[in-house]
Structure 1
Amino acid sequence: MTSQVLSQTKHANSATVFAIVVGEHSGDTLGAGLMISLRQTHPDATFIGIGGPKMQALGFNSLFEMDELSVMGLVEVLGRIRRLLHVRKSLVDFFTSNKPDVFIGIDAPDFTIGLELKLKNQGVKTVHYVSPSVWAWREKRIFKIAKATNMVLALLPFEKAFYDKHNVPCTFVGHPLADDIPMQSDKASARKELGLPANKKILALMPGSRSGELARLLEDFFESAKQLQAQDSELLFVAPMISEQRVAQFNALKAEFAPALKVEVILNKTQTVMAASDCLLTASGTVTLEAALIKRPMVICYKFSPITFLLGRWLVKLKWFSLPNLLANKTLVPELLQKAVCPENIVPLIKERLYQDQSQLNDSYTNIHQQLKCDASKQAAKAVLDVLSS
């Protein structure tokens, strides 16, 4: 960070400074929505910290690249620990010298909550947007969260009840995806927009947004796709990617594992691709909530590094790991984890969802949608401003 950046971000007499740090693309989406809502009451506000492309397009001043924080898993974090500590120390020093009016950490809890704690101890008001999964594992983290934040903003309704039980300030704001995605997603118009045929079966291959996710999942995804195509030569495959880097990685792995497989790779149109598809083969994560809101059947897969999985299995106490199942409190969609992610399991589950009626899912998906549709960015902005004025 240069002295020029430092001088440019000093408090102006009339401008409110909102510091925000996000660690991945879903956080970038939340941050962009929050910025838009905050600007309705604070049009001259300054936004600075770490933000992704959507936030930067709105004028966010990002001191580091968001990808610095896009790492998941215990082993993976250890491999980047020195750099992550450097980034956090730099941010602490910067925001201690240039105190914002409020700091908002969006997701990435292992990074942002420690940062929030240090800043709160320096007199900065702090908000944590997106509750960590303290209700699932490492429950004692809630005591650190209570020390680190003035307010937690929860996306899911059952999270607030957990915080209330521990007397930690929490506001349920709903989920912006439920506000942005229509109750009914039009498959025909999505296909027309993407130039895809109207009358073919389409399976979306969605191996995630992180490099490690693609590396661990795509071999099984490609082998499953080859078997499915051998059984139905008319079946089409599409793959939405969130960056040119992931496109390049996807194509390299395809050349290695499935050079003859025809897959249309589509950049930056994930929701449209999901709406155009009949079924999704997807990594776990926020994208599974998007899929439920778009109301498409799916098979959810995830693989951790072996050591991360070995450590995590003793700590996590959940019947399900995907958001649709957690929100419904029942098995709506199949989940495959670790060694269960293999063509022998994937292919029959995909065939069932491609070729059999899945309309019974819609009522459950609609209930989830209605639960989460709360004008989340507006509610989050209101909660942040309440902290600001307290």
Structure 2
Amino acid sequence: MNTQNPTIALVAGEISGDILGAGLINALRLHYPNAKFIGIAGEKMQQAGCETLFDMQELSVMGLAEVVKHLPRLLKRRKQVINTMLELKPDIFIGIDAPDFNLYVENKLKQQGIKTVHYVSPSVWAWRQGRVHKIAKATNLVLALLPFEKAFYDRFNVPCKFIGHTMADAIPLKPNRSEACEKLGLDEKGRYMAILAGSRCSEIEFLAEPFLKTAQLLKEKHPDLQFLVPLVNEKTQQLFEQIKNKVAPELELILLQGNARQAMICAEATLLASGTAALEAMLCKSPMVVGYKLKPLTHTIAKRLIKTEYYTLPNLLANAPLVPELIQDECNPENLVWHLNSYLAQDSESLKEKNELKQTFTQIHKEIQCDADMQAALAVVELLQ
């Protein structure tokens, strides 16, 4: 290895991985100003100086049907990456998320003596735990964003470093509500609730109706309450509006293109789909109720596979039922209203409970706010040396 000018390969498969990769590249440049970065990169990684073999969007395929449809192309690209890396012989290969693609590549390269890192643990601690042996075989090191992930790998003696979560670095411990209201053009004195029905159309199809009916019932109890609905793109907005026109045509909503973080900071409470948004809501210090629905067969299978007591990241991080999780049949307007009312009530006892919840959120925030980009870079430097 050239200790001063290493060649570092990185492969990201979607936007979130591109963000992580760019942060890692910028942090690694502090140690290796003349390092060469090459792999599969999105716009941010390319701006940070990573050469890309092909467009990252070619790997951004969601859903079983889509994967099957594009499988021949994906297999061809995977082979291309492996052959290029074996010819290039980088000093280290870092697969960023995209486990179905990256773990296979990592395994092939590790067998040929190339050091490998897998950045962002798959949810192996939650389901299909046997995958941990596949991960151990493929990687020299796992970079974990959350502390309970490292604890899981330690049980199997798989090298793993907890680096913290980049989202916890990006969001202040005490978010600025005035600033968020100003950005959204909202009256700071107003009362708001955020509704996040998911980032995928399949989630909106299941959750928009119960979430909208919940908002209708809450509006009757709290006439001054306004609803902020961030949507990730035009497609999800069109679908949400179609459902709203059938379910709650008279309900007034403030629809937002993105800006979920600002909406949750402004809101007294958030109703959201289970997923990374729950972690973001916690970091925004927004009391939340989490709901989720699946097709009945999918839910039956998932219940048998999932090994954790909780579904949402705030509860997993606390190892306690910090926030309500209403899954499948429990995710109905009556239950959602009951839990949200406790956050929206203005009596002293409710305000005290809300304040205590926010303090717990802040404590967890501190535990995962570790300057993740730099911690990841230091772990890579240590492995290289």
Task: Identify whether the pair has TM-score above 0.5, normalized to the shorter chain.
Answer: yes
Within 5 Å, which residues of 2 pair with 1:1-390? 16-61=6-51, 63-66=54-57, 68-71=59-62, 81=71, 84-355=74-345, 356-357=350-351, 358-389=354-385
| Range moving further from structure 2, 141-150 or 265-274 | 265-274
- Alpha carbons 2:270, 2:287 under 8 Å: kept: yes
Task: Determine the C-alpha separation between the residues in 2 that align with 1:222 and 1:70.
Answer: 30
**C-alpha separation in 1, matches of 2:233 and 2:5:** 34
**Unaligned segments of structure 1, at least 5 residues:** 1-11
The answer as to whether partners of 1:69 and 1:84 remain within 8 angstroms in 2 is no
Partner of 1:3: none
Partners of 1:207 and 1:44 in 2: CA distance: 45
Asked if the contact 1:283/1:301 (under 8 Å) is kept, the reply is yes
In structure 2, relative to structure 1, the CA distance for the partners of 1:94 and 1:243 (3 Å cut) is: farther
State the 1:173 CA deviation: 0.9
Q: Distance in 2 between matches of 1:245 and 1:49?
A: 31
- Paired with 2:84 and 2:258, the residues of 1 have a C-alpha distance of 33
Distance in 2, Cα, partners of 1:18 & 1:241: 36
What is the DSSP-based 3-state SS (H/G/I as helix, E as strand, rest coil) of the residue aligned with 2:339?
A: helix
Deviation at 1:26, TM superposition (A): 3.6
Taking the aligned partners of 1:267 and 1:360, their CA distance within structure 2 comes to 32
3-state SS of paired residue (2:355): coil
The whole-number CA distance in structure 2 between the counterparts of 1:288 and 1:87 is: 34
Letter in 1 for 2:323: V
TM-superposition CA deviations, 1:52-79 (whole Å, max 9, x none): 554455455552344843526x677567
Inter-CA distance 134–53: structure 2 relative to 1 (3 Å threshold): same
Cα 1:70/1:264, change in 2 over 3 Å: farther
For the structure 1 residues 285 and 279, does the alpha-carbon distance in structure 2 shift closer, same or farther, using more than 3 Å as the test?
same
Q: Is the 8 A contact 1:49 1:64 kept in 2?
A: no
Contact 1:50–1:66 (8 Å) recurs in 2: no
Whole-Å separation in 2 of the counterparts to 1:222 and 1:84: 39
Cα RMSD, aligned residues only:
2.9
Q: Which amino acid counterpart does residue 382 of structure 2 have in structure 1? A: D
Q: CA 1:110 to 1:292, structure 2 compared with 1: closer, same or farther past 3 Å?
A: same
**2:14 touches 2:56 (CA, 8 Å); kept in 1?**
no
Residue 353 to residue 53, structure 1, CA distance change in 2 (3 Å): farther
Query: 2:381 is matched by which residue type in structure 1?
Result: L
How far off is 1:80 after superposition? 5.9
199-208 or 323-332: which moved more? 199-208
Amino acid at match of 2:28: L
How many residues are aligned here?
Answer: 377
Residue of structure 2 in register with 1:6 after alignment: none
Indicate if the aligned counterparts of 1:47 and 1:61 stay in contact, CA closer than 8 A.
Answer: yes
Letter in 2 for 1:143: H
Q: Secondary structure at the match of 1:336?
A: strand
- Asked if 1 retains the 8 angstrom alpha-carbon contact of 2:13 and 2:56, the reply is no
Q: Which digits, 9 at most, give the CA deviation of each residue in 1:162-196, with x for residues without a partner?
A: 22232211111111222222111122221122111
Query: Which residue of structure 2 aligns with residue 5 of structure 1?
Result: none
Aligned-partner residue type, residue 118 of structure 1:
K
Say which is worse superposed, 257-266 or 200-209, in terms of deviation. Answer: 257-266
Cα 1:193–1:79 change in 2 (3 A) is: same
Instruction: After superposition, give the CA deviation of every residue in 1:283-304 in whole Å (9 maximum; x if it has no partner).
Output: 2222211211221101112233
CA distance in 1, matches of 2:328, 2:252: 26
CA deviation after TM superposition for structure 1 residue 364, in Å? 1.4
Identify if the C-alpha distance between structure 1 residues 65 and 220 changes in structure 2 by more than 3 Å, giving closer, same or farther: farther
Unaligned runs of 5+ in 2: none
